[in-house]
Structure 1
């Protein structure tokens, strides 16, 4: 991995990305701590840090209701943070550079390559231009649709503001909403559970934000190229399977429970939205606490898997999940190669997927154990909170607002590590070492 020199310091792209997110969080914390950001009393530093981290890491967990606890200034600070956090601060810095017609340096290209999870720098600036254009177009379309719907129940200025805020929040998988000011604190989108405009718009924004900018670019080029890359095929197929299976399971588990009062169309929309939103969407039209325990555990699994690489979402990523399933299938069938869509995958990819999954599991297990010590809550609620923070999902069973100071710090660390990625963070923290000059003799142990 290339090292970049800044003021005599040799920093790898993962280190620079980690430091960039820390800087954004620090600036956001200071701004949210100002009296002008608070609609009530002063916001404590720990709450300001929590909200800034949640916004920058596009999570959506909130210890302060965004609609009632923050002023318009504070809400705009959050909006800027999750826009930068969702698209990536390097991507946004590149936008400013392109607007100023400045040259993109080699260092910047290396950072962009790391940000977009690309294997080479070839065409990276062109990809970033596309990312920015697609993002703005999608967010604008979402804002128009939501504004037109909100005009039915609020003044024009407020409807426009709500449309823009929620479109950006949902597309970036941030999960923040302002409806506490309309329907009561922490009410979310529960009043819109059977509203087709809000549901369909939200689902499209979550899906498009969660499949990744590389896949979006590939899909747009499909008419010209007449084919999709292997990465896009894996992301789209795995995402659609998870959405379909998740919605079917949710419908089955909750049909005679939380879905019972809804008409059939509402049941279907609620099932699909609740299957989509755990994979980093962060909004919900149903009270998560009221769901069956089996349904809550299903949501935990979906949050852990997360969205696609190079997207605004978190989790271990759908490609990692697909690769692990393919590896297990190949081993069970006695095959040496791991194959997806008639392409053999390298052992490096398999090792990376296994490492990512095990590090993530270890992180969630340790965090859940620590939270079960610091918090007075049911174990499932504690595990739900930990996985939601790691997967940057933003869903909660009501524990977030009741977290202790120690619990808030744990969740802050989890949100940061979940957004950066355990593997990227490990690369950022490891010492720079040269290539190993020797190999140990091969050994054998019994497995299974």
Structure 2
């Protein structure tokens, strides 16, 4: 019966159903008394919110991860973060390869769908590199972080904290255990610790550039001209957003939230504020204390997000670059949409416009609902919903104040943000309706 069901489902539908099942199982496990530090049952909505946030690698929480969840509960969350970051399809195929099972065409198609890759060839080889690369980066990050944490936390706690935060950072999840010092404090206590913050930032960036870019860098090393157009766009856009974002945060908050910090703290905080919205969810400063200009900049960075086929969310950097190239071509009356000596296909423009409009519509609708239900501040609400649909995890303090309906709205946004809002909608319209007769064209006024 299960095999018949999977055959009826498209690749995107199977991924959507798979994530739903993982979230439900995680929620049921987190409800158990063994999952809470107090030994009591956790309400279903709290468990569901946490499971969704972990599986969708978001990081928004209604209860502090350290204060509320026991070691068992934290390990359940960590497992869901790893599954959500790599994708259960990738993990399932890896298990099949370990068991020496043949990877058929259907499985390769699922990998392509899961990783949002165009070509079907080389899927098995890419999957191996993804798993090996993930283990390497997460273990390296865990070792560095553990060496920093051990002097303050002790041997076992330091190692555990290093592993937890390395996986959370690489998967762009944003979950932390720093509630042992202060609830919901994230990394504010480490705002001027260069090794910890640089390690976290590098893990976020590496996880957020995408597995396709990894593969390109592995095969062509530092030969930029040999990179695919996708890799060139991702790397260039990421570098621009990183340094431009850091500069803007420094200029805006230099005499406000960053006042009183050392120069090292200001520089680290500026770069961290530029990196974490792309989409990790950690913070070294109180987000609610940011000026409105910085909050708006954070919203913009969150909405853009990381790269396709990565652990990050958002509409993706390639989407915004395609739209900007299209805008430039129209303003300069240039024929074709050209970048790095290549012409973009019209299909890329159509998909980019659809992704942009879909996420913008969902975010604004959700913001309107939350404001109407609970009368929240408009900018803080926008930050909350963009954080959810872009699977970021940053908040100005609204998450813990959400009522039942608002929580359901945010849960839905996190889910759609992880499986892909446009892909999810299109999974129900797989059978294309072919118009045998073209409708007559008529001009309308634009702008």
TM-score tier (shorter):
over 0.9
Distance 2:244 2:446 in 1: 32
How much has 1:17 moved relative to structure 2?
0.7
Distance 2:160 2:251 in 1: 37
The residue that corresponds to 2:274 in the other structure is 275
The residue that corresponds to 1:245 in the other structure is 244
The residue that corresponds to 1:364 in the other structure is 363
CA deviation map 1:278-309 (0-9, x unaligned):
01111010000111011011100100000100
Distance 1:96 1:366 in 2: 40
The residue that corresponds to 2:351 in the other structure is 352
The residue that corresponds to 1:292 in the other structure is 291
What SS is found at the alignment partner of 2:151?
Answer: coil
The residue that corresponds to 2:190 in the other structure is 192
Q: Does 1:430 align with 2:434?
A: no
How much has 1:179 moved relative to structure 2?
0.8
The residue that corresponds to 1:31 in the other structure is 29
How much has 1:225 moved relative to structure 2?
6.9
Distance 1:320 1:224 in 2: 25
Matching residue within 177, 200, 215 for 2:213: 215
Q: Is the 8 A contact 1:5 1:11 kept in 2?
A: no
The residue that corresponds to 1:306 in the other structure is 305
Q: Is the 8 A contact 1:18 1:428 kept in 2?
A: no
Distance 2:44 2:325 in 1: 46
CA deviation map 1:321-347 (0-9, x unaligned):
111111100100001211111100010
The residue that corresponds to 2:167 in the other structure is 168
Matches within 5 A, 1:398-413: 398-413=397-412
How much has 1:76 moved relative to structure 2?
0.4
How much has 1:437 moved relative to structure 2?
2.3
Matches within 5 A, 1:109-124: 109-124=108-123
CA deviation map 1:169-193 (0-9, x unaligned):
0100000000102x11111110100
The residue that corresponds to 1:201 in the other structure is 199
Distance 2:104 2:22 in 1: 22
Distance 2:114 2:46 in 1: 28
Distance 1:324 1:237 in 2: 15
The residue that corresponds to 1:51 in the other structure is 50
Change (3 A) 1:127 1:225: farther
When structure 1 is superposed on structure 2, of 96-105 and 424-433 the one drifting more is 424-433
Q: Is the 8 A contact 2:112 2:123 kept in 1?
A: yes
The residue that corresponds to 1:75 in the other structure is 74
How much has 1:377 moved relative to structure 2?
2.1
How much has 1:156 moved relative to structure 2?
0.3
Change (3 A) 1:313 1:223: closer
How much has 1:433 moved relative to structure 2?
3.8
What is the RMSD of the two structures over their aligned residues, measured on CA atoms?
A: 1.4
What SS is found at the alignment partner of 2:8?
Answer: strand
The residue that corresponds to 1:373 in the other structure is 372
What SS is found at the alignment partner of 1:152?
Answer: helix
Distance 1:178 1:275 in 2: 22
CA deviation map 1:356-411 (0-9, x unaligned):
10111101110000011122421111111100001100000011111101111000
What SS is found at the alignment partner of 1:352?
Answer: helix
TM-score (norm 1): 0.97
Change (3 A) 1:399 1:320: same
Distance 1:134 1:423 in 2: 29
Deviation >6 Å, runs of 4+? none
Matches within 5 A, 1:386-401: 386-401=385-400
Distance 2:223 2:317 in 1: 24
Q: Does 1:103 align with 2:102?
A: yes
How much has 1:431 moved relative to structure 2?
5.8
Distance 1:141 1:103 in 2: 31
Distance 1:162 1:262 in 2: 26
Q: Does 1:134 align with 2:156?
A: no
Distance 1:303 1:52 in 2: 21
Distance 2:353 2:3 in 1: 32
How much has 1:5 moved relative to structure 2?
7.3
Structure 2 stretches of 5 or more lacking a match? Answer: none
Distance 1:25 1:436 in 2: 39
How much has 1:120 moved relative to structure 2?
2.3
Matching residue within 8, 11, 15 for 1:10: 8
